[in-house]
Every structure is written in structure tokens, then in C-alpha cells.
Amino acid sequence: MLPKKLNDKQTINGWAFFDWANSSYALVISVAIFPNYFIRMTDDFINVMGMQISNSSLYAFAISFAYLLIALMLPVLSGVADYSGRKLFFLKIFTTLGSISCAGLFFFKGMPQVGIALTFF
């Protein structure tokens, strides 16, 4: 294994650009655009497994479920990435998954695709 170069400018710039892109996604998609778009494109109440749930509550439940899933998976995945030494591989996989998911939001046109929207979001 090659020794790591401390304060490598290319590595620092790479992580800075990744953080910039990730922060802009969180701001633009997660906070500013998608919540309003979801509320406007769906009915006031949505039938989920026989229960009527308001569209804003469904959005909040979806966000909560996603963060719970992240909190449960993150320790395992980060341990695997650290132990195997494949951090860059995991970064590429999850960056690609995030890009595909963001592009998948294009297919959300209204009520028939609520499941698609919440899955890709």
C-alpha cells in the first residue's frame, strides 16, 4: 500500500467540489424545490395502505423514514468501506445512485407516480 500524501491539493479540491455539489443538492432539491412541487402535484389527502394521509404528512414521513434508514445503514457501510479500503468505490456507487435518483424525479408528474417520487427522492 502506498503511503498517503498529506494535504494533497488534488484530493482536497476533489472533496471540496463533492461537498459543494452535495450541499447544493440538499438546498435546491430537498428544501426549496421538491417539497413545494410535491405538495402542488398531489391531492390534499393520499390513500396509503388504506389510510388517508395529508400530502405534507406523507412527505414528512418519507423524509423521516429515509433518515432512519440512513442512520441504520451508515455505521455498517462506513465500517465496510473503512475495513476494505474501498472508500472511493463506495463514493462512486452512492454518487451515481444519487444522480440517478435525482434524474428519476423527472418522471413524477402527479398522483399516479407518488410512489416513484418518494422512492427517487
Terminal-residue alpha carbon distance, the chain: 38
Write out pLDDT tens, residues 27-43: 888 888 888 888 888 88
Select from 32, 33, 30, 53 the least CA-distant residue to 43.
53
Write out pLDDT tens, residues 67-91: 899 899 989 988 998 888 888 888 8
Write out pLDDT tens, residues 49-58: 888 989 888 8
Cell 391531492 maps to which residue?
43
| pLDDT reported for residue 68 | 94
Cell 404528512 maps to which residue?
57
Q: What percentage of the chain has pLDDT greater than the value 70?
A: 93
Contact 58, 46 (CB under 8 A): yes
| pLDDT reported for residue 71 | 94
pTM over 0.75: no
Q: If DSSP codes are grouped into helix, strand and coil, which group holds residue 100? A: helix
Cell 494535504 maps to which residue?
7
| pLDDT reported for residue 76 | 93
d(CA 66, CA 11): 30
Q: What percentage of the chain has pLDDT greater than the value 90?
A: 6
Highest mean pLDDT out of 3-17, 66-80, 82-96, 101-115: 66-80
